[in-house]
Chain A
Amino acid sequence: MILASAPVIPSFGKPDPCVTQDHAFCWGWVKAHWGDTLQPALLQHLQLAAIAVGIGFAIAFAAGLLAHRRRWLAHPFGIVSALVYTIPSLALFQLLVPFTGIGTATVELALVAYTLVILLPNILAGLDAAGEDVLEAARGVGYTRRQILWRVELPLAVPTIVAGLRIAVVSTISIATIAAFLLPKGLGYPIFLALREPTPFRTEIYSAGALAVLLALAADFALVMLQRGLVPWARRQRA
């Protein structure tokens, strides 16, 4: 028989007076929980968004090249994409559950659908950016169709494609917060948890929210820089 020799109350450490008194913002909490809450959520969020945009871009690029050749495909796609974009993200996540279960795949599937809807029209518009005289000139110097695509149309399409990518990336980062309704992942999850408490824990909402906004703005900035690297000649055209 074992006799209790010490109190069995676990030690949670010293309570942070800032947290217990429910101050508006507690730096101490952010520092203490960066490692176990905020940083993992940030990385998960980045991963969710990066995979979605990566897959979405690959599909949209291939579909864009196809629709560029076969014009009649462009119009039905425009209608479908406008309708898909009206589907609320929360509803789309839930509606995919019977088919793909509750998991990252469901969230990624929905996110990819939204990126496609944004990217494809932009890729198509970009590929159409080369004027008839430019194409004429390219044909005149003996370019084949393939050469025209890779050396003329695609470089000229870069600004429009990157503009679409920026919208897609920022929107995906924003929509990925809704994934928290389904998965304990991403920056939406700390906010989701904090909101479900009787008195919402403000520090958690503010810090995770700020990280989500900063992530979106940083990704946007990175794409602007990428565009400058890819098409230095277009620098003066788009502010």
Chain B
Amino acid sequence: MGEEAARVILADAFQPHTFLDAFRFIGDHPVFLLQKAAEQLELSGAALGIALAVALPLGIVLGHFHRGSSLAVGTSIVGRALPSLVLIGVLLTVLGVGFVNNMVALAVLASGPILTNAYQGVDAVDRDVVEAARGMGMSHRQTLARVELPLALPLLFAGIRIAAVTVVATAPIAAIAGGGGLGDIIVNQASYRLEGVLGASICVMALSALVFVLFLGVQRLLTPAGLRRPGVELPRA
């Protein structure tokens, strides 16, 4: 989009009433928007699933053996420094345009917080508690399942929540690489006009807020009652 194109759009900017048009767009095309939102959730769900399958066990095992802190920390630093647009672009040159590319790119983005938080959560469990569990005759597996994981759960699930929101929020950017979802509308102002772009943006916002609240609720439910009481120190992030 050159300067000229920008100026043309500017003609119908500066007008807060386009906001009302955006809501009218949502009201006029609910089925279309829901369909696009479903596409986006499908892409996000697939990406999150892959990230969970790879990063979660890795983080938990590394945390249990207190190994590979540099990997966990490095992932979080690189993950933050690597812009999603760059990741999507670079992977596109390898995997080609389409669902698979975007799924892999989003899965990579999601793995960062999941891995780091799973590692830190398990790693930060009080060593005395683990010692006690071992002393009671619990095996590695039992210690992990009955002591370390429940204690690590708040932090671990916070990582999953961050990853989920990141994926849903980033999925529209993938539209530039033929992603599908609400991003298709946002990057196609020529067809949907500014009110369509704004309407889709509002839907994207609502969708990620919804995912945020949903995961926060699940996190509350999953947190062991003993850790839920106020005044109990949670593992530090």
Interface of A toward B, CB cutoff 8 Å: 24, 82-83, 86-92, 94-95, 97-103, 167, 170-171, 173-175, 177-178, 180-181, 183-184, 188, 191-192, 194-196, 200, 202, 205-206, 208-209, 212-213, 216-217, 220
| Chain B residue, CB-CB nearest to A206 | B90
Contact: A86 with B169, CB < 8 Å?
yes
Tell me if B71 counts as interface (CB < 8 A to partner A). Answer: no
Does residue B31 face the partner (Cβ distance < 8 Å to A)?
A: no
CB of A195 within 8 A of CB of B16, answer no
A95-B198 contact in complex given A174-B83, A178-B173, A205-B90, C-beta closer than 8 Å: yes
Q: Does B132 contact A (CB under 8 A)?
A: no
**Complex: A173 Cα to B172 Cα, angstroms:** 19
Taking CB atoms, residues of chain B closer than 8 Å to A200 are 89, 92-93
Q: Shortest distance in angstroms between A136's beta carbon and chain B's nearest beta carbon?
A: 23
Are B16 and A174 in contact, with the CB atoms below 8 A? no
Q: Which of B16-47 contact A (CB under 8 A)?
A: 16-19
- Docked complex Cα distance between A212 and B88 (Å): 14
Set of chain B residues within 8 Å of A196, measured between Cβ atoms: 176
Closest Cβ of chain B to A189, distance in Å, is 9
What is the size category of the interface that chain B forms with chain A? 35 or more
Q: Is the interface of B mostly helix, strand, loop or mixed?
A: helix
Taking CB atoms, residues of chain A closer than 8 Å to B6 are: 102, 183-184
Complex contact A217–B186 (CB within 8 A): no
Given contacts A102-B6, A196-B176, A209-B90, A91 and B209 within 8 Å (CB-CB):
no
CB contacts (< 8 Å) of B177 on chain A: these are 195
CB-nearest residue of chain B to A196: B176
Contacts of B1 in A (CB 8 A): 184
* 22 CB-based A-B contacts, threshold 8 Å: A89-B169, A91-B205, A92-B205, A97-B194, A97-B198, A98-B13, A101-B13, A167-B80, A173-B83, A177-B83, A178-B173, A188-B85, A192-B85, A196-B176, A200-B89, A200-B92, A202-B93, A205-B93, A209-B90, A213-B82, A213-B83, A217-B81
Whether A174 lies near B84 (C-beta < 8 A) is yes
Inter-subunit contact A98/B16 (CB<8 Å): yes
Which residues of chain B have C-beta atoms less than 8 A from A90's C-beta? 172-173, 183, 186, 201, 204
With known contacts A184-B2, A202-B93, A216–B81 Cβ distance under 8 A: yes
Chain A contacts of B218 at CB under 8 A? none
Q: Mostly helix, strand, loop or mixed at chain A's interface?
A: helix
Whether B155 sits at the interface, judged by CB under 8 Å, is no
Per-residue CB contact flags for chain B residues 188-203 toward chain A (1 = under 8 Å, else 0) read 0000001001100110
B99 within 8 A of A: no
B225 interface residue per 8 A CB criterion: no
Which residue on chain B has the smallest CB distance to residue A205?
B89
Contact B169 A191 (CB under 8 A): no
Contacts of B53 in A (CB 8 A): none
Specify the chain A residue showing the minimal Cβ separation from B1: A184
A88 to B3, CA, bound (A): 25
Q: Which residues of A contact B90 (CB under 8 A)?
A: 205-206, 209
* B208 engages A86 (CB within 8 Å): yes
Once A174-B84, A194-B89, A202-B93 are accepted as A-B contacts, the answer to whether A88 and B204 lie under 8 Å apart by CB is: yes
Compute how far the CA of A189 lies from the CA of B202 in the bound complex, rounded to whole angstroms: 24
Q: How far, in whole Å, are A58 and B155 apart by their CA atoms in the complex?
A: 31
Residues of chain B within 8 A (CB-CB) of A191 are 85-86, 89
- B145 within 8 Å of A by Cβ? no
Contact of B14 among A82, A101, A167, A208 (CB under 8 A): A101
Interface string of B82-118 (1 = CB under 8 A from A): 1111101110110000000000000000000000000
Flag if B9 contacts A102 (CB, 8 Å). yes
The CA-CA distance from A194 to B88 in the complex, in Å, is 12
B80 in contact with A98 (CB, 8 Å): no
State in angstroms the CA–CA spacing of A202 and B165 once bound together: 29
When the two chains form their complex, are residues B183 and A212 in contact, meaning their CB atoms are under 8 A apart? no
Residues of B within 8 Å of A171, CB to CB, are 80
> Among A94, A206, A212, which residue has its beta carbon within 8 angstroms of that of B186?
A94
